[in-house]
Amino acid sequence: MPPDPDLHPQFYEGIPAKRLFAWLIDAGLIFVLCLVIVPFTAFTGLFFFPLLMLVTGFAYRVITLANGSATWGMRLMSMEIRTRDDEALDLGTAFLHTLGYSISIAFAVVQLISIVLICTTARAQGLTDMVLGTVPMNRRR
């Protein structure tokens, strides 16, 4: 089980802000990655760039979450996502977490609910985190 936020608040300090900065870093990395991919599509990728961003972002998140329980943005912010058993995410959980995130950003109301939960819950969990039982937290040293 992940650390209790009442007994070990240091694991959850600053997580909402860290999640925002990690998201900005990841969005920038995905954008740059898509710019690198476009020439390999004979520049036809420009015509479906939002779809390219969606697919590339999905793959990026699944792969990075499955290989270290954090995206590169999260790693730069010294945070990670753990399971309800306090383990690193496996490929299946990383896929489900990314799918939940993708559904959340597709619907403004769902994303707003998730943001409110991140800012108000003791473990800074979004809607997807609550459904899957995952917990974002500061990396252990």
Q: Does residue 2 belong to any structural domain of this protein?
A: no
Q: Which domain holds residue 79?
A: 10-138
Burial 43-62 (b: 16+ CB within 10 A, else e): eebeeeeeebbbebbbebbb
Q: Is residue 1 part of a domain?
A: no
Given a contact cutoff of 8 angstroms between Cβ atoms, the answer to whether 80 and 68 are in contact is: yes
Q: Could you tell me if residue 48 is inside a domain?
A: yes
Distance between CA atoms of 82 and 3, rounded to whole angstroms?
10
Nearest-angstrom CA–CA distance, 46 and 40? 11
Contact partners, residue 118, CB within 8 Å, separation at least 6: 15, 16, 19, 124, 125, 126
Tens digit of each residue's pLDDT (9 = 90 or more) over 88-127: 999 999 999 999 999 999 999 999 999 999 999 999 999 9
Number of domains in the chain: 1
Q: Is residue 4 part of a domain?
A: no
Helix, coil or strand: residue 136: strand
Q: Per-residue pLDDT tens, the chain, 141 aa: give them.
A: 888 888 999 999 999 999 999 999 999 999 999 999 999 999 998 999 999 999 999 999 999 999 999 999 999 999 999 999 999 999 999 999 999 999 999 999 999 999 999 999 999 999 999 999 999 999 986
Res 4: pLDDT: 87
Residue 54 in domain: yes
In a domain, 46, yes or no: yes
Q: Which long-range contacts (CB under 8 A, 24 or more apart) does 13-17 make?
A: 13/138, 14/138, 15/79, 15/118, 15/123, 15/124, 15/136, 15/137, 15/138, 16/118, 16/119, 16/124
